[in-house]
Amino acid sequence: PDSSMQESEVSYSAPARASESDAEMVADMAPAARASASDAGRAYRIAAPASARSSARTMSRGKPAENKQSATVSLQAWNPDTPYLKILKQSSDSELYKDYLKIKRGYEDQPSFYFDVSDEFVKRKMNDKALIVLSNIAEMKLDNVELLRILGNKLLQLGYNKYAVDIFEQVVKLGGENPQPYRDLALAYQAAGQYQKALDNLYKIMLGSWDNRFGKLKQIIFVEMNDIIARYKVNTSKINKEFIFKMPVDIRITLGWSSDSTDIDLHVTDPYNETAYFGHRLTAGGGHMSNDITQGFGPEEFMIKKALEGSYKIKTNNFSDSRQSVSGPVTLYLDIFTFYGTDKETHQRILVRTENVKEDNIIGSIDFSNSDIEQENKSEKENTDSNIKRKFKSLFGVK
């Protein structure tokens, strides 16, 4: 990416009051996400497996998650049936890059080839080589917004945040007539530690007048703005105070996609087997699904303030045909957060490429375990029993 690229400028003026539609949006989000800062005082960890797998553990269901929760994120990986990957999968780590260079000659003008091959390097924890492979796409100088968005999100997934900023700044110049490029750039700024620029770009979307098909995106932006405000030192003097309040949640999942002509819905099934989706947005367990986005690039969003013990299955449902393009199959952008909006926030970004997004296609899960709780309760019980015995002995002289 061209490191000399100028950073995009963002200018705005804050309205005296929130608009009526924005006020409705805030009211819609508040019940699902508003929580005290003390809710974030619990430890949490995500362990990502090397390959996709289903959880084999049996867990209790329906109890609110307590202290020292552990969780495992499992993914259903997409394995494209392509001749070149069949060859590369048989290569040893030491020979993989050499074999890639040999095969490359027949696919030099196909961006999907570089995405597929980079995934193989990532699976083998060879991210530096994956970056070299992806750089071929940047060198193509293609003014294709969809392709560049996939590249930018791939760079974010690999942790090359500054390169991703360069790519998304280019996307803003090419496709700044809709709000999605500004959100992409804001998330890249945030990942790169440029929090004020991230907030400015998100607020630009909040104040903008966009095509009706992008109107529901402001609900997502509202949440992401408050995450930055809650966690980092940023200047909020220009932001309407009606848009600011803390809203930490135990789980936040967003699902976006690469193709403008694809309508993909996010479904999340909780440990009680109740599914949140656009037609059933509020669950008995406290889950909340965002409004349905039928045009554009998403994202759709699931949040829950207090997670239940057990498995949250992440599914997709396709309401329109997936479109093949120069970048290959549709790419899904999945972001999984825990303790969102707090200092203990964790984040995992996953890109899933799929030829056909089918109904009830499981692409991942979050499994909450109570093993740590049981151990803690056992230790607490032992301490309590010991104290009771000592007290009885001192009072009554009995064992």
287-289 β-sheet, strand order: 287-289, 300-304, 249-257, 330-340, 346-354
- Look at residue 377 in the predicted model and tell me its pLDDT: 45
Alpha carbons 39 and 165: distance in angstroms, whole number: 33
Task: Give, for 253, the enclosing helix (H) or strand (E).
Answer: strand 249-257
**Quick check: 228 pLDDT over 80?**
yes
Q: What is the DSSP string of 329-355?
A: SEEEEEEEEEEETSTT-EEEEEEEEES
Where b means 16+ CB within 10 Å and e means fewer, 186-222 reads bbbbbbbebbebbbbbbbbbbbeebeeebbbbbbbbb
Task: Give, for 190, the enclosing helix (H) or strand (E).
Answer: helix 180-191
Q: What is the mean pLDDT of residues 235-239?
A: 95
Residue 235: which pLDDT band, with cuts at 50, 70 and 90? very high
CA terminus-to-terminus distance, the chain: 75
- Nearest Cα neighbor of 173 from 299, 4, 9 is 9
Query: What mean pLDDT value characterizes the chain?
Result: 76
Identify the top-confidence range among 77-81, 322-326, 333-337. Answer: 333-337
- Look at residue 74 in the predicted model and tell me its pLDDT: 61
Task: Give, for 288, the enclosing helix (H) or strand (E).
Answer: strand 287-289
Are 310 and 59 a contacting pair, CB within 8 Å? yes
DSSP class of 212: G
